[in-house]
């Protein structure tokens, strides 16, 4: 599924598409504005990411963490990655979840929510993309 998003064959609310990776909204977000970051190449786990790709990929994750805070007015972010266990899609991906004090997120028991419609989802993707700084 993520390979289809990277290739542009599967629709997604893209935040950024760069050489180091693609970021798009999670369709079942923990909180609205929850972004998934994936490498352009199909890899299953972090261990599969070539060492030379680490700086670019994690710089993109870092930039998105800042963009989520600024773009959505979040108090912080939760950045996480599952490898194999609890990895719902077998494609390396990093979660960037907006956080606010008292948001109710405890441990790894993630309640899920939905966007009201495509327009609301698009507005979240656009706000994060607008806050994204250079490469």
- pLDDT for 110 equals 59
With beta carbons less than 8 A apart as the criterion, state whether 30 and 97 touch. Answer: yes
Query: Which residues, other chains included, contact 61 with Cβ-Cβ below 8 Å and sequence gap of 6+?
Result: 37, 79, 94, 96
pLDDT at 107 over 90: no
Which of 34, 91, 93, 95 is catalytic? The answer is 93
Q: So where are the chain's domains?
A: 2-131
Instruction: Assign a CATH topology to domain 2-131.
Output: HIT family, subunit A (3.30.428)
**Residue 79's pLDDT is what?**
96
pLDDT at 11: 96
What's this model's pTM, rounded to 2 decimal places?
0.85
Task: Give catalytic status of residue 34 as yes or no.
Answer: no
pLDDT at 68 over 90: yes
Tell me how far CA of residue 70 lies from CA of 77, 82, 96, 103, 114, in angstroms: 11, 25, 13, 17, 22
Question: For residue 85, what pLDDT is reported?
Answer: 77
pLDDT value at position 15? 97
Average pLDDT over the chain reads 92
List the strands of the sheet with 14-18, edge to edge: 14-18, 21-25, 35-38, 94-99, 76-80
């Amino acid at each position: 599924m993520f390979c289809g998003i990277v290739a542009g064959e599967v629709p997604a609310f893209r935040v950024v598409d760069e050489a180091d990776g693609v970021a798009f909204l999670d369709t079942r977000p923990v909180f609205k504005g929850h972004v998934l970051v994936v490498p352009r190449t199909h890899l299953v786990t972090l261990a599969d990411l070539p060492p030379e790709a680490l700086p670019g990929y994690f710089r993109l994750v870092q930039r998105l963490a800042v963009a989520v805070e600024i773009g959505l007015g979040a108090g912080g972010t939760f950045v996480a990655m599952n490898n194999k266990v609890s990895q719902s899609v077998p494609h390396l991906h990093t979660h960037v979840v907006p956080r606010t004090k008292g948001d109710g997120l405890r441990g790894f028991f993630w309640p899920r929510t939905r966007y009201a419609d495509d327009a609301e989802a698009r507005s979240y993707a656009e706000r994060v993309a607008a806050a994204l700084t250079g490469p």
